[in-house]
Structure 1
């Protein structure tokens, strides 16, 4: 192999590595954008757009409600309870997710805060602080959620376990 051929082979190898790194970063950015779109969509009552974040058979598992499929997710956004929160003032604040992409699958964890306004007092209060675990899959229309699990951060062990499982760690236990 000539010196020129060797340099060309090295350059092609570096280019392939850079393309792989760029593709991973683009995937992480796309997953992050999808997750961060949840709050504005749900707080503006965009039921179809919220449901479209999931695969057709996707699952949204909130400790107080299990929704399977887009129709059930849409129904949650259109429900009287949710529409009342929107009318009175609410914010689903989604923290920046920690995303791990492996091929066409991704796992992400983050926190969400649900802040609601008490109309009689005009003050905002924290209704929930939750641990979120997202499973996503890349398909013909981009990344979509297959399963999202939320658990209230109220001391129950499954809440920190959800977070730890998304960063590849086990939660430490008191001895």
Structure 2
């Protein structure tokens, strides 16, 4: 094999690996909505690293047990029973080695008096790490898009920042 062909092949392998990493991260992000709406507390929690953090405006959960407890909570079970959909938009994913940052919007749509309404629109920043068990969420920060500057900064920092895990909104 010529040096040129070997170099091109190596470059192609790197590009394919990058695409596979981005897809795997997007799959983790995309799994959240169906799993949480299905009430699958164990699988929702398994998306996170064992010590992972889920920071929602009104709730800070640390570790899989707290995340699973949120899914099992009476409040969340009422949302499921009444009809709800956690719709996570396509993420913008930046992978650097074994670390990734994904940013996206999400909507919580609820069934209300015969119609569906958006209860909440949020900015999401996910930080993930690839370990022995694949890609897992290290932390996810959600902020309601209600005019506060913090929410849009979460989105733009994940795209226009350097994409590294230390990027802060």
User: Which category describes the TM-score, using the shorter chain as reference length?
Assistant: over 0.9
Measured in 2, the distance between the counterparts of 1:168 and 1:56 equals 29
Runs of 4+ in structure 1 deviating by more than 2 angstroms, as ranges, are: none
Match of 2:125 among 106, 125, 133: 133
Match of 1:46 among 40, 46, 61: 40
What does the per-residue CA deviation read over 1:36-62, in whole Å, with 9 as the maximum and x for residues that have no partner?
010000000000000000000000000
TM-score by length of 1: 0.91
- Give runs of aligned pairs for residues 141-152 of structure 1, distance below 5 A: 141-152=133-144
Q: What is the deviation of 1:135?
A: 0.2
Match of 1:115 in 2: 109
Work out the number of aligned pairs and report it. 162
Is 2:66 aligned against 1:64?
no
Is 2:146 aligned against 1:154?
yes
Match of 1:3 in 2: none
- Give runs of aligned pairs for residues 89-104 of structure 1, distance below 5 A: 89-104=83-98
Q: What is the deviation of 1:117?
A: 1.0
Which structure has the bigger radius of gyration? 1
Measured in 2, the distance between the counterparts of 1:82 and 1:147 equals 20
Measured in 1, the distance between the counterparts of 2:117 and 2:74 equals 20
Match of 1:168 in 2: 160
Match of 1:172 in 2: none
**CA-based RMSD:** 1.1
Match of 2:23 in 1: 29
What does the per-residue CA deviation read over 1:61-119, in whole Å, with 9 as the maximum and x for residues that have no partner?
0011000000000000000000000001000000000000000000000000000112x
Measured in 1, the distance between the counterparts of 2:55 and 2:157 equals 16
Match of 1:81 in 2: 75
